[in-house]
Structure 1
Amino acid sequence: MTTLAARTTAPAPAAPVTPVLRTRTRSHKKAWNVGATVFIWLSSLFVVALWVWGGGVTAVLGFNGETLTTLGRLTGLVASNLLLYQVLLMARIPFFERGFGRDEITRMHRFVGFWSFWLIMAHIVLLVLGYAATAAINPFVQLWQFVWDYPGMLLATVATLCIIMVVVTSIRRARRRIRYESWHLLHLYAYLGVGLALPHQLWTGADFLSSPAATFYWWALWAAAAASVIVFRFGMPLLSSLRHDIRVASVTADGARGVTVQMTGRRLDRLNAQAGQFFVWRFLDGPGWTRGHPFSLASAPTAAGLSISARYAGDGTRRLASMRPGTKVMIEGPYGHMTGEVRGGTKLLMIGAGAGVAPLVSLLEEQQYAPGDATLIARDSVADDALRVDAIADLVARRGLRHVPLVGSRSTRNSPWISVSHNEWRGAHLIQYLAPDLGEYDVYVCGPIPWMKHVTRDLKRAGVEPERIHSEAFTV
């Protein structure tokens, strides 16, 4: 069996770390989660109640054209509600961020997005068939009349086409073929689709104006969605960026295909950022600055400086290498719950791949642990591509970090998250070998989503409790 050597040196003596219970923090987070979940379910039930009050159940029992029509009304109501939640979930509202976390919101956004799309399709088909059956005309004739004769339906047609375009380009296979910058621009058309759908709902949707309660609900939800985008996506980031006056201080190469950007600003401690979190960054260095990119903090944040490290993966990351000191920076955040607050044990096992090592290094710089009680497994296909090498070496020398680099192509046997050089190892056995007293560890995982799934699977097989596994995903 291959021998694994962890890079360590004798660090300066350090006092043992006393276990810190974070019951209050976890209870607080759970309360936010319960509140956000209850809010979504209650509002969804209210929408169904509107349909029931409007005679929906009675109409369904008729088993005629009206049955199809009322089911079309129901799918339209639910689809509208989900579309607005799409906006609210991605508006980065603190209520949802604290309740669910960024990775859970991202999964919900994708899940809700596809469900709202299929419900919109069902809404159109059911209404066309229902009206056509009632009027005894061809469904295609009915569809033509809907588009041209009903108020707001031309705008609704354009809205539907926008949403179809967003959904098609969000399918994973299609998205892999599109540059991130192009996909991000196309994705913004979802806002246009949601906005263009409003007129036909107000002009032809009886359920939207059937009662004062319904009218209030829909106008309140629309206003909340619009205000959330304006306040949380534009207003607050702009004010925060102006207040802290963040600028690029230096840009240095980090590995063969990466870069580290150091930034300075005023009173950055008031951002309340923590190691392990991320911001959405916009560098005002020319065309393309409007596209935000999520990068994790690569070192523990201080009152005077922030830093990020990125692997070249597209035009947005390659632009970082050419930025000049003094470039202004706009930020959104901080976001994310992969922080020290979720720790429950005294030891740390960090498992990162590629650029995912950067937030783990920031946590290792910030958190307390005794020499030998923190282990970093860093996965890279090529040794020269490794990020934060100097920072890791410093942690090894000063704080007794155990560093286990796994370099090479992926394993072809049981655990594709490890390198082919360790094919004879099973992932769970490797984890148990490096951290035999797993009950004392918190495990932080960061890297590509499919890779993290393999790591998490082996962590559970090794006996790590789910609440001790901490990870975060940034993609939609």
Structure 2
Amino acid sequence: MTATAAPEVRERLRATPAWWPGAGAAAAASSLLVVTALWAGNGGFGDLTGDPLTATGRLAGLYASDLLLLQVLLMARIPLVERAFGQDRLARWHRWTGFTSFWLMALHIVTITAGYAAGANVVTELWELVWTYPGMLLAAAGTLALLTVVATSMRAARRKLRYESWHLLHLYAYLGAGLALPHQIWTGSDFTGTAWARAYWWTLYLAAAGAVLAYRIGLPVWRNRKHRLTVSRVVAEGPGLTSVYLTGERLAELPVRAGQFFQWRFLDGPGWTRANPFSLSATPRGDALRITVKNQGDGSSRMAALKPGTRVLIEGPYGKLTGESYAGEPVVMLACGVGITPLLSLLGELPYRDGEATLVHRARTDAEGVFRGELEWFAARRGVRVVHLTGPRARAASWLPGGLAATGDAEALRQAAPRIAASRVYICGPEEWARAARAAAIAAGVRPDRVHTELFAW
């Protein structure tokens, strides 16, 4: 599958307008200003002098709710938001927003309880609040759900969890947001105190719920009914590496670019409900798609046993490791291990000139140096310079194998791609490696806005 995408497909998938990211960031920041204004309009600043703990707790609770709903919107898979920011950036913001919201919620609980206790026993007061105030028991259950999400989102916990288990636990964030709503409606004066406050909070809650229903459920259902993907064949590419070829209906109308990924569900038996993110490993065409999966012991281990004809469900496409901003510069691609897959699809789609693309593939062993036949095709037909680097990494902060450690990260990149400073750079691999490769590219003279990364992290 080395053919390029059809010209009409490229024309239909236009670049994201440059003003979208700025407008989205401004809208998120303005929401916090609106919350502050509503709190102030309900006597917030005046209450600071008479009952500072309760006033602070009210504001912290409002910020926590606002950020929690923004967090839901960030990962609601809204196409406009996905195209503006990409999954990598949205995931980082989602994580930061989630932790900030949780700690503000904790501050809200502590300060409100202490303020209501007014010097009495704080534990007794908290018990009374939970058991006697309307909606508080549900809010307590929501807090426990959010605590589960926060605990399993910490890096140490994520390393011990399979992706599917983490993803399932993460859905408790929706439960936490939903269980907090009755408490705000029944006892939250800042939620119901004015018509403006009611309008704002109901709009935000309905927007979050509507986005989840429309884009996490409705859009995938519609696309799957339209395209009806099935497995056409399965090919072993190397040790623990499997390519799955897929066909379907009207695939030319699927709005996907080379370099993007989908969430995949294969209807082959138990476990089909758990989705896994896999990038396209060949340029998307109007009649076929391909993904290539490394066996990492979770749902990816099932790929080799798939049978032709197996139905497939998708969510997506996602990701900004694409050529939408490509303007004809030389191209340099840096891949680590199975990170070569989205870069292979980009090699087939980008309209670079013959001899102006370099692909550097780092692998631990020669056996991991896959797709050599396709890379030879690109070298012969489009003049792509292919550089294979084999061996364990030199150190944690380097993208190089140990044998080239003395060369230096940036200098090794200049040697592999002499025109690196003028190039558009695409990087895909594990998180630490990709960050080291990005730092090397910038040190070698590449403008930061011309460096595009896709991290194998969640």
Q: CA deviation at 1:174?
A: 1.1
Q: CA deviation at 1:25?
A: 6.4
Equivalent residue, structure 1, for 2:200: 217
Matched, 1:458 2:427: no
1:53-132 superposed matches below 5 A: 53-62=41-50, 66-132=51-117
Secondary structure of the residue aligned to 1:453 is helix
Q: AA paired with 2:415?
A: Y
Q: CA deviation at 1:272?
A: 2.2
Instruction: Please tell me whether the aligned partners of residues 102 and 474 of structure 1 are also in contact (alpha carbons under 8 angstroms).
Output: no
Matched, 1:258 2:246: no
Q: CA deviation at 1:131?
A: 0.7
Instruction: Please tell me whether the aligned partners of residues 34 and 99 of structure 1 are also in contact (alpha carbons under 8 angstroms).
Output: no
Instruction: Please tell me whether the aligned partners of residues 355 and 385 of structure 2 are also in contact (alpha carbons under 8 angstroms).
Output: yes
Among 28, 37, 58, the residue aligned to 1:49: 37
Runs of 4+ in 1 over 3 A off after TM superposition: 473-476
Greater displacement, 422-431 / 465-474: 465-474
Equivalent residue, structure 1, for 2:453: 471
Instruction: Please tell me whether the aligned partners of residues 358 and 388 of structure 1 are also in contact (alpha carbons under 8 angstroms).
Output: no
Distance 2:96 2:18 in 1: 22
Q: CA deviation at 1:40?
A: 1.1
Instruction: Please tell me whether the aligned partners of residues 431 and 459 of structure 1 are also in contact (alpha carbons under 8 angstroms).
Output: yes
Q: AA paired with 1:157?
A: A
Q: For residues 283-312 of structure 1, give each alpha carbon's deviation from its aligned partner in whole angstroms, at most 9, with x where no partner exists.
A: 111121122111111000000001111111
Instruction: Please tell me whether the aligned partners of residues 335 and 429 of structure 2 are also in contact (alpha carbons under 8 angstroms).
Output: yes
1:21-420 superposed matches below 5 A: 28-62=16-50, 66-133=51-118, 136-412=119-395, 416-420=398-402
Instruction: Please tell me whether the aligned partners of residues 241 and 295 of structure 2 are also in contact (alpha carbons under 8 angstroms).
Output: yes
Q: CA deviation at 1:182?
A: 1.4
Q: AA paired with 1:36?
A: G
Equivalent residue, structure 2, for 1:438: 420
Q: CA deviation at 1:181?
A: 1.7
Distance 2:372 2:224 in 1: 30
Secondary structure of the residue aligned to 1:254 is strand
Secondary structure of the residue aligned to 2:440 is helix
Secondary structure of the residue aligned to 1:321 is helix
Distance 2:271 2:446 in 1: 43
Secondary structure of the residue aligned to 2:305 is coil
Q: CA deviation at 1:474?
A: 5.9
- Identity over aligned pairs, percent: 47
Secondary structure of the residue aligned to 2:156 is helix
Instruction: Please tell me whether the aligned partners of residues 259 and 319 of structure 2 are also in contact (alpha carbons under 8 angstroms).
Output: yes
Instruction: Please tell me whether the aligned partners of residues 360 and 416 of structure 2 are also in contact (alpha carbons under 8 angstroms).
Output: no
RMSD: 1.7
Q: Name stretches of at least 5 consecutive residues in structure 2 with no aligned partner.
A: 1-10
Instruction: Please tell me whether the aligned partners of residues 429 and 456 of structure 2 are also in contact (alpha carbons under 8 angstroms).
Output: no
Distance 1:356 1:85 in 2: 31
Equivalent residue, structure 2, for 1:15: none
Distance 1:345 1:468 in 2: 12
Q: For residues 291-350 of structure 1, give each alpha carbon's deviation from its aligned partner in whole angstroms, at most 9, with x where no partner exists.
A: 211111100000000111111113210011111111111111212222112223431100
Q: For residues 161-214 of structure 1, give each alpha carbon's deviation from its aligned partner in whole angstroms, at most 9, with x where no partner exists.
A: 111111111100111011222111111111111111111111111110011111
Greater displacement, 384-393 / 208-217: 384-393
Aligned length: 447
Distance 2:19 2:371 in 1: 36
Secondary structure of the residue aligned to 2:18 is helix
* Larger RCO of the pair (alpha carbons < 8 Å, separation 6+): 1
Q: For residues 143-178 of structure 1, give each alpha carbon's deviation from its aligned partner in whole angstroms, at most 9, with x where no partner exists.
A: 110111111111111111111111111100111011
Instruction: Please tell me whether the aligned partners of residues 282 and 289 of structure 2 are also in contact (alpha carbons under 8 angstroms).
Output: yes
Q: For residues 84-138 of structure 1, give each alpha carbon's deviation from its aligned partner in whole angstroms, at most 9, with x where no partner exists.
A: 11111111012311222221111110010100110110010010111111xx421
Distance 2:456 2:33 in 1: 30
Secondary structure of the residue aligned to 2:291 is strand
Instruction: Please tell me whether the aligned partners of residues 260 and 320 of structure 2 are also in contact (alpha carbons under 8 angstroms).
Output: yes
Distance 1:234 1:33 in 2: 25
Q: AA paired with 1:61?
A: T
Q: For residues 248-269 of structure 1, give each alpha carbon's deviation from its aligned partner in whole angstroms, at most 9, with x where no partner exists.
A: 1111112212111100011111
Secondary structure of the residue aligned to 1:423 is helix
Q: CA deviation at 1:361?
A: 0.8
TM-score by length of structure 2 reads 0.94
Q: AA paired with 2:69?
A: L
Q: AA paired with 1:228?
A: A
Q: CA deviation at 1:226?
A: 1.2
Equivalent residue, structure 2, for 1:18: none
TM-score by length of structure 1 reads 0.91
Distance 2:454 2:345 in 1: 15
Q: Name stretches of at least 5 consecutive residues in structure 1 with no aligned partner.
A: 1-21
Distance 1:182 1:386 in 2: 30
Instruction: Please tell me whether the aligned partners of residues 35 and 99 of structure 1 are also in contact (alpha carbons under 8 angstroms).
Output: no
Secondary structure of the residue aligned to 1:259 is strand
Distance 2:228 2:429 in 1: 30
Greater displacement, 464-473 / 387-396: 387-396
Secondary structure of the residue aligned to 1:340 is coil
